[in-house]
Structure 1
Amino acid sequence: MNTQEYLEELIGKARTAQKEFETYTQEKVDEAVRAIGKSVYDHAEELANLAVEETRMGRVDSKIAKCRNKAKSTWWRMKGKKSRGIIERDEKNGIVKVAKPIGVVGCITATTNPVINPMHNSMCALKCGNAVIICPHPRAKKVGVRTVELMNEALDQLGMPNNLIQIIAEPTMELSAGLMKFADLCVCTGGPALVKTAYSSGKPVYGVGQGNVQVLVDRDVDYDEVAKMVIAGRTFDNGVLCTCEQNIICPRDKAGEMIAAVKANGAYYIGTQGEADKVRDSAFPDGVFNKAWTGTTVQEIAELAGLKDVPQDAKVIVCCTHGYARDEVLSKEKLFPVLALFLYDTWEDAMEIARANLAEEGMGHSVVIHSNTQEHIEAVSFVVNVSRYAVNQVGGTALGGAMDNGLNPTTTLGCGTWGNNVISENLWYTHLMNVSRISYKVPEMYIPTDKEIWAE
């Protein structure tokens, strides 16, 4: 069977299942969504171990936490929400909104989130009456298949249609590109090259931009608490997530306090350019990211870079810098537990460092702000163009949505036109439905005169 025949068979099965599923009530649809989320929650340990074993990146404890937290936060935010049939009546304007499925949603999932990416995309898709076909990263195909098996077992127990969720068990670039063209819409979570391919497929696509989370630290915060949060975010899953903190931008007159705080919380600080060069040269030879560093531990980093004095219990490495943006390669996204430390004199300088670093890599994604001055916090939004600003939170676990903030729980973070994306928010089930509008005439609607309309 050739590629086209194989994909046509998958799409055919998906369409048959979807046509039946779209006739189900909101209650039945929600049963399916809850079941697949709960299946991942219940098998978090198994799936986390499989993911680390196969991908050889990240941490089991972090992946267990991701499976459980993303499953429960996604279901909690979806629970009780209308997504089928009439979802809104606007009596004032005479508009009735009717939600309809897209059809078959193709999902290209990332090796960094091989479990929660398929789970979240499937929950969002099924919430709106769609069917799903998942194409995992080749390096995460086994754990992807197991994740889909567990979700389908849960659906089978409810008597749901077969083939609502399917997976390409032996993924290739050809199959990935083909799925983008055959599906009605594609959610593409991966690197810039993959997203670019998706955008050329001729079908609607939700893609993501590159992460490079800048951390702006004000003078009016507890530096020990900031250090705890930044290190927690930077070390989560060995730093492979796009939401992980990357660069600390700290007041120059508070540098000593910041360095002492990160050291006290498990960081190994590199304060000489010679030692920092070892990290730069190994992690970014000729300025290009060395993929061998992805998801490595601090101890592996020390070996790769030839660092001699890194303690065995060090959680993260913090490097001094020279310049910023294109003058400092460590200003780029680092998919491993290393933070770069940048110093500023004024808040305006801090915002410019963040803006310039993101202009090199990560525009449109996210920043974290540690400040208790509202004027400073809100000023960042006018200078630094990203889609989300997390205030006094752990970026690694908050930017993708959490139980204690209002961001949509997601594994697909849109970066707006800054990041060459169509959405500038966290992908949610509302993005995977068509909405029709019934318009009634409103006899009592006020109609102004031309003079009123054009009055200055």
Structure 2
Amino acid sequence: MNDMASGATLARSRAQTPNTQESDADRIVGALVARARAAQRRFEHAGQETLDTAAAAAAWAIMEPQRNRRLAELAVRDTELGNADDKFRKNHRKTLGLLRDLHGVATTGVIARDEAHGIVEIARAVGVVAAITPSTNPGATPANKIINALKCGNAIIVAPSPKGYSSCALLIGFIHAEFAKAGLDPDLVQMLPQPIGKAATAALMRLADLVVATGSQANVRMAYTSGTPAFGVGAGNVASIVTASAKPDDAARKIAVSKTFDNATSCSSENSVVIEDAVYARMLDALAAQGGVLLDAAQKAQLQSAMWQDGKLSARCTARSAATIAREAGLDDIAAREPKFLMVEESGYGADHPFSGEKLSPVLTVYRAHDIDAAMDIVRGIYSYMGAGHSVGVHGADDALAVTLGTQLPVARVIVDQAHCLATGGNFDNGLPFSLSMGCGTWGGNNFSSNLGYRQYLNITRVAYPIAERVPEVDALLGDYFRRCGR
């Protein structure tokens, strides 16, 4: 037996037969994984139609309107984050978009043939997936991971955040009800039992075949150090640039939509807007027309004291409405104006300027830039503090500028003239795949820079056939170099 095979056998044995020295968490989680692994082995070779049926069942479990409404309202009740109407829309739109992306896609058996190169590609399941999910999207994110995993022939076990446990449990109950209609094994989709703790989550990561982690950077770091192959996401802290060529009213409308959706629970909501000097005043007026209220220096100081305590974001302000946050800061006169979002002006970035970081709330930091080069420098400064790798928005850019941003800034996505939080994770009017987990590349400490999708839930086996030998002449490949530099 070779080293690779013996290592895989050891991992499987460890999951199936926990020894007496293992902790309670290891024994409990080991039993879940063993059940998942048994179900997955039967499922992965059941054929494309069965895999598609399982994915469809999980999708309808969250999309059915009455169940969706229950999930959205329970999520807000128990997490106290966001608002139910937006979560209802998110649950539907993100799942519908994922179904569109997966429709007709082959994920088992032979999926590609390259006759010219003699290569046949075979899609293979990864096995048992550990899904780490956040409290900000306790329905949509688990559903997205579950659908992708099932589409690719895997079993999945979810480790929800403690606050998101009830929503995840309700979702999985709905999935099991759909599975019963379709004759599918409920052990394909499971979740950790309460209480959710680090020991159980760590055990799940160790025993699974793949970890997909969305949420806090602490969870992502745990995933990457678990010893199991893992995909984790980077920190959000999106900035959008408004150029001198932008249409302020249009840009302000899209930024406001993005900033206020679900009380800015998304990592893709703008935390900062960097405005070129030529349109600065007009843009502030346009943002005000969309419900933004710009605070003065004293009000900004009050807000800062309320939002950060001992250097950490206060849960009393996270994902709450702008009026609630204003009242929490003692800004009752501002709250009385029923703002949709609050704005503060800033010129610095880093730990001494907390408004330059992620706020997870309808609070927008405003920077003024002399020109586009200065705007890019500001964005670099912001991302050197937090948010590198995620994405940047731009309003009023031509093709050349959009490409320049994509080559000069440490970002995996450039979102042009769109409501950023709706666009980054895929939308029906752009070509990005639907996802709630965005890879941030090496800039953000990640091993991928795409939107997390079904490809990350697959192994690909390649069959190589002999083809006619093609050996090039050295001069055909190095002739240009020789002419320029000599031999």
Please, which runs of 5 or more residues in structure 2 have no aligned partner? 1-22, 481-487
Pairing of 1:375-394 with structure 2 (within 5 A): 375-394=400-419
Q: For residue 290 of structure 1, what is the aligned residue in structure 2?
A: 314
Contact 1:213 1:244 in 2 (8 A): yes
Of 189, 199, 220, which aligns to 2:214? 189
Contact 1:347 1:376 in 2 (8 A): no
Q: Which amino acid aligns with 1:371?
A: G
Contact 2:323 2:340 in 1 (8 A): no
Of 224, 230, 237, which aligns to 2:255? 230
User: Does 1:25 pair with 2:47?
Assistant: yes
Of 365, 368, 371, which aligns to 2:393? 368
Of 28, 31, 34, which aligns to 1:9? 31
Q: For residue 151 of structure 2, what is the aligned residue in structure 1?
A: 127
Q: For residue 359 of structure 2, what is the aligned residue in structure 1?
A: 334
Q: After superposition, what is the alpha-carbon deviation per residue over 1:154-202, rounded to whole angstroms, capped at 9, x for unaligned?
A: 1221111231100113121111111000100111111111111111111
Please, which runs of 5 or more residues in structure 1 have no aligned partner? none
Of 437, 446, 449, which aligns to 1:421? 446
User: Does 1:247 pair with 2:272?
Assistant: yes
Deviation at 1:245, TM superposition (A): 1.1
Q: For residue 346 of structure 1, what is the aligned residue in structure 2?
A: 371
CA root-mean-square deviation:
1.4
Instruction: Indicate the SS of the match to 2:82.
Output: coil
Deviates more, 1:287-296 or 1:318-327: 318-327
Of 451, 471, 474, which aligns to 1:447? 471
Deviates more, 1:216-225 or 1:289-298: 289-298
Q: For residue 112 of structure 1, what is the aligned residue in structure 2?
A: 136
Q: After superposition, what is the alpha-carbon deviation per residue over 1:6-27, rounded to whole angstroms, capped at 9, x for unaligned?
A: 1111011101110110111112
User: Does 1:82 pair with 2:82?
Assistant: no
Q: Distance in 2 between matches of 1:288 and 1:140?
A: 21
User: Does 1:177 pair with 2:202?
Assistant: yes
Q: Distance in 2 between matches of 1:290 and 1:74?
A: 33
Of 153, 167, 186, which aligns to 2:177? 153
Q: Distance in 2 between matches of 1:309 and 1:257?
A: 24
Deviation at 1:113, TM superposition (A): 0.8
Contact 1:145 1:169 in 2 (8 A): no
Q: Which amino acid aligns with 1:111?
A: S
Contact 1:371 1:377 in 2 (8 A): no
Q: For residue 39 of structure 1, what is the aligned residue in structure 2?
A: 61
Q: After superposition, what is the alpha-carbon deviation per residue over 1:358-403, rounded to whole angstroms, capped at 9, x for unaligned?
A: 1101111111111242222221112211111111111111111112
Q: After superposition, what is the alpha-carbon deviation per residue over 1:16-44, rounded to whole angstroms, capped at 9, x for unaligned?
A: 11011011111221111112112201121
**Which runs of at least 4 in structure 1 moved beyond 4 Å after TM superposition?**
none
Instruction: Indicate the SS of the match to 1:48.
Output: helix
Q: Which amino acid aligns with 1:347?
A: I
Of 220, 240, 256, which aligns to 2:281? 256
Instruction: Indicate the SS of the match to 1:387.
Output: coil
Deviation at 1:327, TM superposition (A): 5.4
Deviation at 1:99, TM superposition (A): 0.6
Deviation at 1:286, TM superposition (A): 5.1
Contact 1:251 1:345 in 2 (8 A): yes
Contact 2:244 2:278 in 1 (8 A): no
Deviation at 1:290, TM superposition (A): 2.3
Of 318, 324, 328, which aligns to 1:300? 324
Q: Percent identity?
A: 32
Q: Which amino acid aligns with 1:190?
A: G
Deviation at 1:405, TM superposition (A): 1.1
Q: Distance in 2 between matches of 1:221 and 1:209?
A: 29
Contact 2:246 2:396 in 1 (8 A): yes
Deviation at 1:287, TM superposition (A): 4.1
Contact 1:273 1:321 in 2 (8 A): no
Q: Distance in 2 between matches of 1:144 and 1:231?
A: 30
Q: Distance in 2 between matches of 1:112 and 1:177?
A: 21
Q: For residue 302 of structure 2, what is the aligned residue in structure 1?
A: 278
Q: Distance in 1 between matches of 2:425 and 2:376?
A: 22
Q: After superposition, what is the alpha-carbon deviation per residue over 1:389-427, rounded to whole angstroms, capped at 9, x for unaligned?
A: 111111111111112211111111111111111111110
TM-score by length of 2: 0.91
Of 446, 459, 462, which aligns to 1:434? 459
